[in-house]
Chain A
Amino acid sequence: MTDNMSGLIISGAQVVTLFIISVGLFQNVIYFAQLILSGHELSSNPPVRRAALLWKRYADLAPPIAILSPAYNEELTIIESVRSILSLEYPSFEIIVINDGSSDQTLERLKEAFDLVPTHRAFSQATEHAPIRCIYKSTHQSRLIVIDKENGGKSDALNAGINVSRAPIFCSMDADSILEPDALLRAVGPFVDDPTRVIAVGGTVRLANGCKIENGRLVEVGIPRNPLALLQVVEYLRAFLMARLAWSKLGAITIISGTFGLFKRRCVLAVGGYSKDTVGEDMELVIKLHRHFQNEGKPYRIAYVPEPVCWTEAPESLKVLGRQRSRWHRGSLETFFRHKDMFLNPKYGRVGVLGFGNIFFVDILGPFAEVLGYILIPLLYFAGLLSHEYLLAFLAVSFTFGVAVSVGSLALEEIELKRIPRTRDLVLLTLMAIFENFGYRQLSNVWRMIGTVQFLRRKKGWGEMTRIGFGRSPVTRKD
């Protein structure tokens, strides 16, 4: 009886451990497949190196673009950000800054810097948003429009911007981010090359911490001194260069970052614009577009281009980073469960099967299984219920495969893009790619678990975000 009981306990421990290892292994198989796919894509379609060639290629064909930049309490970065957008190399674009009821001096700083005066601009109320107080235009920057509206959140501000914009394509970006001068020329490529099918294009977001920025332009690429920001550099590389490129290649991309993405205006209006009741509005919009086009049976393509780069500021404190990551995870869960009927539904093609499958296994089940493994497997091993092979296999799926994937994505960036100019920075990032698997990765999973708890408790809102500003001291804002 006792032998039967202990046998049962050992079998139970082994089954649970095998489940955890299987989930981890499956996750790693997905990562390696992404790495191979994105490597193939980058080597077969290498980005054009010189902006002059892009200009030659697209200048006559490029459609007008409206750049929508929602700003909430962005007084520290707004002027540099707008200047950076004004200096973009693109034949036809307008900038629409949406002041979303800021309680700081965002609007005043804009008025002062760009000599804003009220203007009348007719627009149709194609999507819902909080009332607009006034629309301003600049007396010396004809491309700049500023909307001053009541606070309604980022999605609400973007919806107002979509309504007021007139260009067939809009670009959503954060007011605290900086676009590279040729970013629009690069990002518009898929719209020009495949005008009938492409409905949205995402670009790469990189971290501006440690870079030299003057007058809203990035003049020298560098890496952050803060170890937490340094770890995020590797993380962003993996997320954009590896994951998004691979999903885009498979036609199953489920997110275009809210920090930098281009969309066909009429397609976004057809799905009702951005949803206001979620913190993952960028992901939600992409899923809505997939759903709409799949339901209608229309051919479409959502693309990702690795080279247009948008530089943004990363949190440098654990507290702020934790809040950001929990919120991202909450947004992902909100979108997943709102569109749960698409999960593994062949009606929605690759997005339903691959895209939603990935969200489920990697974003939902993955962190849960991994955190459970960290707690349970060492305990079971030291209790003598598991042999050392189980422990080693768990270490493999949680640490060593992770090292291979992180270093692999950094190698991919070095082979194809070479955006990290100094050799010593490359050495430092290689070390970070190794060490991020020992502590940071585990912490990320804990933040995801917190995000899951917040989702289950139906928490809403964005929380506080500390902005340093490019080269300034930190301030805290509440989104």
Chain B
Amino acid sequence: MIHIELAVIWYSSLVLAAFSVTCMVTLVVNRFITNKRKLRRQTGQATLTEYLLTTDVEDGEYQTLKSLTQSSVVLALTISEISTIMRGPAFDAILERLKTCNAEMRLIKLLDRRSPQQRVVAAEALAYFPTDTVRKALWKAYARPAPAHQRIIIAQALVLAGARPELADFFAHLDLTRSEDLADMTALFKTIAMQNPEPVIRRAKIAYDPPEVRAALLRTLGHCGAIEALDLFARDAHDASPVIRAAALDAIGAIGFLPDLSVVSDALKDEASEVRAEAARTIGLLMEQSHVADLITLTSDQDWDVRFRAAKSLSAFGDVGIDALKSIAAHARNDRASATAQLILDEVIEA
């Protein structure tokens, strides 16, 4: 009986080894073909880029462009590449030339391909064709099943192509509980807010999303300078979730202005250390001298981050803050406070 089992081990190992070697040989052959294709694509892209950048519109250009843009992938990659080196009228003129060889429709067709990479490349290029047909095609591509980061690239292309959706339209196809996608979502919020912060403000106001998403909305608004969201920041600085309170304070700090400072004063005494730390940093950014005493108190906080940010904010107040730091470094009874003050002083002196 044992002999059969031992033989099974031997034969199964042979089958597995043969299978893996066969797979590898197939992959090597595939690689050989792909490398050839890649080389052709790179050459095509380089030729097209050079032609568009160095040649003026000429007679018979249609035929030349038609032959150079035979591959839709080359066309999409070339548009994306040129967009990284030029914008404005010169770039628009290149797009106009490409439109003569039906670029828009060909990129829309590329958007329907099965390959996710090709869809992404097509979406990025289509962002520069702000027409209803393009937006419709991008919406259709956005609704198709795809990993979140690819979907978000399509969503960004949609916004750049002139779509003005509500965030709910995008959120319908995203899993907001997946923390891995939050960074991508933040990039999308930023793209939207840079065009028009209103949809982001409206979404943040309804306070319906998970705390991490709400915090990302607030931070994005702050860092995009959405001054019309100040009331929202003031409201959310009192939210039940410390993640949201900290994000609201970060946004206030990024804006650099708040009419009612009691919001930040309250946050300096918050039970959550991340909120206290953010409030200390915000005070420094707001340059609010009436809170110097509060900052001095915070230099002996239990949490290192709070102490560091309070001392750092003090250093932003010029002579008043530096004198306070020197006094803490020399006379504070609390070792942590004096060490933190000394750390910041060294940094200031070094600078």
Contact (A58, B183) CB under 8 Å given A21-B6, A423-B35: yes
Residues of A within 8 A of B102 (CB): none
* Closest-CB distance, B297 to chain A (whole angstroms): 21
Is B285 located at the chain interface by the 8 A CB criterion? no
Interface flags for A376-416 (1: CB within 8 Å of B; 0: not) read: 00000000000101101101110011011101101100110
11 A-B residue pairs with Cβ-Cβ distance under 8 Å, sorted by A, are A45-B180, A53-B149, A57-B187, A60-B223, A122-B339, A122-B342, A193-B179, A408-B23, A411-B23, A423-B35, A430-B21
Which of B6, B35, B350 is packed against the most chain A CB atoms within 10 Å?
B6
Given A60-B186, A400-B17, residue A430 in contact with residue B24 (CB < 8 A): yes
In the bound complex, do residue B117 and residue A49 qualify as a contact, i.e. CB atoms below 8 Å apart? yes
Interface residue ranges of B16-47 to A (CB < 8 Å): 16-17, 19-21, 23-25, 27-28, 31-32, 35
Q: Which residues of A contact B16 (CB under 8 A)?
A: 32, 400-401, 404
Specify which of B2, B32, B35, B184 is in contact with A57 (CB 8 Å cutoff).
Answer: B184
Q: How far is the CA of A340 from the CA of B340 in the complex (A)?
A: 40
Complex Cα distance A343/B342, Å? 45
Chain A nearest CB from B335 CB (Å) reads 10
Q: Judge whether A193 and B35 touch: CB under 8 Å.
A: no
Instruction: Output the nearest chain B residue to A396 by Cβ-Cβ distance.
Output: B13
Q: Told that A46-B147, A194-B179, A404-B13 touch, could you supply 18 new A-B pairs with CB distance under 8 A?
A: A32-B16, A57-B149, A60-B223, A119-B350, A121-B346, A122-B343, A192-B182, A193-B183, A389-B7, A393-B6, A396-B13, A400-B13, A400-B17, A403-B21, A404-B20, A407-B21, A407-B23, A415-B27
Decide yes or no whether A5 CB sits under 8 A from chain B. Answer: no
- What is the chain A residue whose CB lies nearest that of B243? A196
Complex alpha-carbon distance, A45 and B117, angstroms? 14
Does A375 reach chain B (CB closer than 8 Å)? no
Residues of B within 8 A of A405 (CB): 20
Report the bound CA distance from A121 to B345 in whole Å: 10
Instruction: List residues of B (184-209) whose CB comes within 8 Å of A's CBs.
Output: 184, 186-187, 190
CB of A61 within 8 A of chain B? yes
Give Cα A117–Cα B349 distance, bound, in whole angstroms.
15
B9 CB-CB contact with A under 8 Å: yes
Q: Give the docked Cα–Cα distance between A387 and B2 (Å).
A: 11
Contacting residue for A56 out of B14, B181, B187, CB 8 A: B187
- Whether a CB of chain B sits under 8 angstroms from the CB of A472 is no
Which of B9, B179, B180, B187 is most buried by chain A, counting CB atoms within 10 A of its CB? Answer: B9
Residue of B nearest to A414 (CB): B27
A 40-70 contacts with B by CB, 8 A: 45-46, 48-49, 53, 56-58, 60-61
Main secondary structure of the interface of A (DSSP, over half): helix
Q: CA–CA, A46 to B146, complex, Å? A: 12
Residue from A121, A387, A396 within 8 A of B3 (CB atoms)? A387
Contact string against A for B residues 311-351, beta-carbon threshold 8 Å, 1 for contact and 0 otherwise = 00000000000000000000000000001001100100110
> A411 touching B343 by the CB < 8 A rule?
no
B280 within 8 A of A: no
Q: Assess the B350–A57 pair: CB atoms within 8 A.
A: no
Roughly how many angstroms separate A396 CA and B6 CA in the complex, as a whole number? 9
The verdict on A295 contacting chain B, using a C-beta distance below 8 Å, is: no
Across the two chains, which residue of chain A brings its CB closest to B341?
A: A122
Write out the residue numbers on chain A whose beta carbons fall within 8 Å of the beta carbon of B24: 407, 410-411, 414, 430, 433
Known contacts A57-B184, A396-B9, A414-B31; is-contact A121 B350 (Cβ 8 Å) = yes
Set of chain B residues within 8 Å of A404, measured between Cβ atoms: 13, 16-17, 19-20
Q: What's the minimum C-beta distance from A89 to chain B, rounded to whole angstroms?
A: 15
Which 4 A/B pairs are nearest by Cβ-Cβ distance?
A396-B13, A400-B13, A404-B16, A389-B6
Cβ-neighbour of A411 out of B27, B35, B117 (below 8 A): B27
The reply to whether A423 and B31 contact each other, CB–CB distance below 8 Å, is yes
B186 to A392, Cβ gap below 8 A?
Answer: no
Find out whether the CB atom of A120 lies under 8 angstroms from the CB atom of B350: yes
A side interface size, CB within 8 A: 54
Interface assignment of B153: CB less than 8 Å from any CB of chain A: yes
User: Are A396 and B10 in contact, with the CB atoms below 8 A?
Assistant: yes
Proximity string of chain B (198-236) to chain A, C-beta cutoff 8 Å, 1 when within and 0 when not: 000000000000000000000000010000000000000
> Which residues on A sit within 8 Å (CB–CB) of B223?
60
Give the docked Cα–Cα distance between A387 and B6 (Å).
10
Q: Looking across the interface, which residue of chain B has its beta carbon closest to that of A28?
A: B13
Is A61 a contact partner of B183 (Cβ separation < 8 A)? yes
Tell me the bound Cα distance from A49 to B149 in angstroms: 12
Contact B180 A194 (CB under 8 A): yes
Nearest-neighbor residue (CB-CB) of A24 within chain B? B9
| A266 CA to B13 CA, complexed, in Å | 47
A396-B12 Cα distance, complex, nearest whole Å: 8
Query: Are A48 and B179 closer than 8 Å at their CB atoms?
Result: no
B222 to chain A, nearest CB (A): 11
Inter-chain contact B9/A193, CB cutoff 8 Å: no
Once the chains are docked, how many angstroms separate the CA of A408 from the CA of B342? Answer: 56
B3 close to A395 (CB less than 8 A): no
Query: Contact at B183–A189, with CB atoms within 8 Å?
Result: yes
Q: A1 contacts the other chain (Cβ, under 8 Å)?
A: no
- Are A401 and B31 closer than 8 Å at their CB atoms? no
A403 x B17 contact (CB < 8 A): yes
Q: Which of A49, A122, A396, A430 meets B28, CB within 8 Å?
A: A430
Question: Which of A61, A121, A393, A411 is the one whose CB lies under 8 Å from B10?
Answer: A393
Give every chain B residue within 8 A of A473 (Cβ-Cβ).
none
A192 to B23, CA, bound (A): 37
B322 to chain A, nearest CB (A): 15
- Nearest-neighbour CB distance to chain B for A407, whole angstroms, equals 4
Complex Cα distance, B85 from A465, in Å, reads: 46
- In the complex, what distance in Å separates the CA atom of A212 from the CA atom of B149? 33
Most B Cβ at <10 Å: residue of A193, A404, A427, A433: A404
A13 within 8 A of partner (CB): no
- Output the least CB separation between A477 and chain B (Å): 33
Cβ-defined contact, A407 with B17, below 8 A: yes
* Chain B residue with Cβ nearest A266: B304
Contacts of B343 in A (CB 8 A): 122-123
Given A120-B350, A194-B179, check contact A408 B14 (CB 8 Å).
Answer: no
Give every chain A residue within 8 A of B339 (Cβ-Cβ).
Answer: 122, 124
Q: Which residues of A contact B180 (CB under 8 A)?
A: 45, 193-194
Inside 8 A of A123's CB, which chain B residues have their CB?
343
| Cβ contact within 8 Å between A389 and B346 | no
Given that A57-B184, A407-B17, A423-B32 are known contacts, is A122 also in contact with B346, CB under 8 Å in the complex? yes
Report the nearest A residue to B30, measured CB to CB. A414
A25 at the interface (CB under 8 A from B): yes
| Cβ–Cβ < 8 Å partners of B182 in chain A | 192-193
**Cβ–Cβ contact A401 & B6, under 8 A:** no
Q: List, in ascending order, chain B residues with CB within 8 A of A194's CB.
A: 179-180
Question: Could you say which residues of chain B place their CB within 8 Å of the CB of A403?
Answer: 17, 20-21
In angstroms, Cα B221 to Cα A127, docked, is 40
Interface centre among A46, A393, A434 (most CB of B within 10 A): A393
